[in-house]
Amino acid sequence: MRAPTVMAAVAAAGLLALPPLPFAAPAAAWDRRVQQGETLARTNCARCHAVGRVGASPLGEAPPFRDLHTRYPVEDLGESLAEGIRTGHPGMPEFRFDPDQAEALIAYLKTLER
C-alpha cells in the first residue's frame, strides 16, 4: 500500500522541478495592468465614483464602476478615455488618459464585472 504513496511523492517532486509554464508571464503582466488600472481609478475617479466591488459612490450621480458594464461594454471606452471624457455625471472633470492608461483602466473595470 505504501508503494503508490511513494510513487506519488516522487512524481510530485518531479513536477516541482519543472520550469514555470509559459503562460505565467502573461498572467503576471495582466495582473500588473489591472493594478495600474485600479491605481488610476483610485487616484482620478474615487472622489466621485465607487471604484471597488462594494460601497456607494461619494457623488450620488456618479455610477459605481462595478455597474458600468451594465450600461455599455467597457471595452468600448478606450477611445473615449484616450480622447477625453467630457460628459458623464454633472460636475465631472475632463479626463484624458494615454492609450496604455486607458487599457489598464479598462482591464481593471473588467475585473469588477465578476
Locate the domains of the chain by residue range: 26-111
pLDDT for res 11: 43
Half-sphere exposure of 7 (CA within 13 A, CB side): 4
pLDDT for res 14: 45
Cα R_g (the chain), whole angstroms: 21
Q: State the Cα angle at 76 between 70 and 78, rounded to 5°.
A: 125
CATH superfamily of 26-111: Cytochrome c-like domain (1.10.760.10)
Q: What CA–CA distance (Å, rounded) separates 56 from 19? A: 45
Per-residue pLDDT of the chain (114 residues; tens, 9 = 90+): 445 554 444 444 444 445 555 555 678 888 999 999 999 999 999 999 999 999 999 999 899 999 999 998 999 988 888 888 766 666 777 878 999 999 999 999 999 997
pLDDT for res 96: 86
